[in-house]
Copies of this chain bind each other. A is one copy, B any other.
């Protein structure tokens, strides 16, 4: 809960430096006076901090903005371009990558299609190609990368080893962290994709500002990611959110209602069936509507379990089917109304397919803060 280390003068400076950087990152270029006001420090002190940060390369001066009264003020900005971050989304059918500056501003994006049953090495090669594509597009080199954050399907343990992956056979028992660390000469972070999507929605999407969020991945497979008290919740063994494993949640087979609907014409590829059903339901096809109702029936059970257990502020619907949120949201809300103690907001993802990549970038950004100022959380308080 807190460390027992007392603070030095230098620690105070460290703290103030961090505060300044945070202010700059949040609000773009700022004059010394503005910085001083925001941080609560005096101008001279702020100046000293700024000089130090410039010396360290965190901050640089930009030309003063003209057209103001009085003597033009120095302006400083966070050097977001002094390093780059990469976020990767390893999905069943696609590998997406994005490259951003240290502010999380995305500068390049790529996508590599890959077959779910592709052999391991092919998959890893696709990852490498996706990242290299980003590097080329943004004219940066791998040595400029500070962090690579990866979101992947499957259950990943705390060491970054894949312990379960129904969708991608080649992924089983893989030491993913190890392989990726060989690939990139910088820290590699690995997380479950739904958790990163949840993070993305809380930081940049529809759930901005919410502290407790449940993200539902609705698509060909079901998944969930939790944000609790503003932080991604991994669980002790990094296996949080695996509701679909519980038969009573009725999540595992839920998508079958959409896949096997009678409204789907012959000859449609199995992976497109659900899309057909949802589209038909939108057009009022009663058979399709019935299938969707049954689907949401099942979806609502596991969702209600999460809502009752966690009482989140918001439930965000994401994943492939969330493109059809117009036919899903209301039925889901109706069912949750009757089941839940306190009804959370239920909204559709605004980030869509980008969700996981953006979440990975945000994860890397959040990790960056830790690099600057490691939050050494001590042991938990116990009885005396």
Contact = CB atoms under 8 A, between A and B. Distances in A.
A229 B226 contact: no
Interface in A288-314: 301, 304-306, 308-313
A235 B311 CA distance: 5
A186 interface: no
A382 interface: yes
Contacts of A25: 384
Given A4-B19, A19-B4, A306-B309, A212 B241 contact: no
A40 B9 CA distance: 13
Nearest to A231: B229
A237 B16 contact: no
A278 interface: no
A243 B305 contact: yes
Contact of A6 (B19, B231, B241, B339): B19
A379 B12 CA distance: 22
A2 interface: yes
A12 B16 contact: no
Interface in A1-18: 1-7, 9, 11-12, 15-16, 18
A226 B310 CA distance: 9
A39 B366 CA distance: 29
Nearest to A340: B245
Contact of A7 (B15, B103, B243): B15
A59 to B, nearest CB: 15
A238 B311 contact: yes
The secondary structure that dominates the A interface is loop
Contacts of A306: 309
Interface stretch (A168-176, A202-210, A265-273): A202-210
Interface residues of A, number: 83
B226 A309 contact: yes
Given A237-B311, A305-B309, A339-B246, A41 B6 contact: yes
Contacts of A56: none
A208 B6 contact: no
A346 interface: no
A245 B212 contact: no
Contact of A240 (B19, B164, B310): B310
A299 to B, nearest CB: 13
Contacts of A19: 2-7
A119 interface: no
Contacts of A384: 25-26, 28, 103-105
A246 B235 CA distance: 23
B230 A228 contact: no
Contacts of A16: 6-7
Contacts of A224: 309
19 contacts: A1-B230, A4-B26, A6-B39, A6-B45, A104-B384, A226-B309, A229-B229, A233-B310, A235-B342, A237-B342, A239-B341, A239-B342, A242-B311, A242-B341, A246-B304, A248-B248, A248-B249, A249-B308, A305-B309
What 3 pairs between A and B have smallest CB-CB spacing?
Answer: A235-B311, A6-B39, A236-B313
